[in-house]
Amino acid sequence: MPEDTTLDVLKSLLFRLKCLHLCLGVLYLDKGFCSTAIIRYLTDQHQPAVLACPIRGKNGGTRALCKGRKSYRTTYAFTDGTSAELVLKATLVPGKDGKLRRKWLAFVVIHLDWTPKKVYKCYRRRFGIECSYRMMRQVRAITTSKNPALRFFLLGFGLLLINIWIRLRWLFARKPGPGPKRVDPVSFRFKRFAYFLRRAIEYLYGVVMSIPTNLSPEIVIY
């Protein structure tokens, strides 16, 4: 519901998993769920979790922890007094000029004694979720309908197309040669798959090349 808080959403999801008799090992949550209410709730529930923590502040806040050259782990107190274990991971990413620059990532860890390297490595596995949604926008049908069932269907169909592309790429874009199976990342990109779909739709339903009009268009050549 629109009035539900992120904590209410999390409680509903955990309750649903409990009804399905599914046990969580470690819960990974993005920045939208990083609040002191959720941190306190997961701590009281003894649920191991890793939460991506936004880096805020100009000189203070969590930005003040982004110092040095090495990753580390520390205890941090939020403004409401909630204390949590924070992991600060120092990464190197290429800038616009091609040179590597330091970028800090912050994670709240609950009931885990992992090293910063392990926290970063395990949390990276969920980055594919954001990538899937970005890819899905390239093939998702756009609608102005307010019917939630239709909108959910179009969302699920877009994700289904991504899985079809993954399967096709695995079958037909593998690199030849001995050893483990490898996929050529260039020969069948997702954008090309989207072009194939568009051309197939145009072939089946035709392409609109003109519109009816009562006026005679004027062609002016300069």
pLDDT digits (tens, 9 = 90+) for 24-45: 899 999 898 999 999 999 999 9
* Residue-level pLDDT at 101: 86
SS3 of the chain: CCCCCHHHHHHHHHHHHHHCCCCCCCEEECHHHCCHHHHHHHHHCCCCEEEEECCCCCCCHHHHHCCCCCCEEEEEECCCCCEEEEEEEEEEEECCCCCEEEEEEEEEEECCCCCHHHHHHHHHHHHHHHHHHHHHCCCCCCCCCCCHHHHHHHHHHHHHHHHHHHHHHHHHCECCCCCCCCECCCCCCHHHHHHHHHHHHHHHHCCCCCCCCCCCCCCCCC
* Residue-level pLDDT at 98: 76
Structure confidence by residue, pLDDT tens digits, 188-200: 999 999 999 999 9
* Residue-level pLDDT at 149: 92
* Residue-level pLDDT at 221: 57
Question: Bigger pLDDT: 57 or 44?
Answer: 44
* Residue-level pLDDT at 57: 84
* Residue-level pLDDT at 217: 63
Q: What percent of the chain has pLDDT over 90?
A: 52
Structure confidence by residue, pLDDT tens digits, 206-220: 888 888 877 776 665
Structure confidence by residue, pLDDT tens digits, 169-180: 999 998 888 888
Structure confidence by residue, pLDDT tens digits, 15-27: 999 999 988 899 9
Structure confidence by residue, pLDDT tens digits, 81-132: 899 999 999 988 887 777 888 889 999 999 999 999 999 999 988 877 777 8
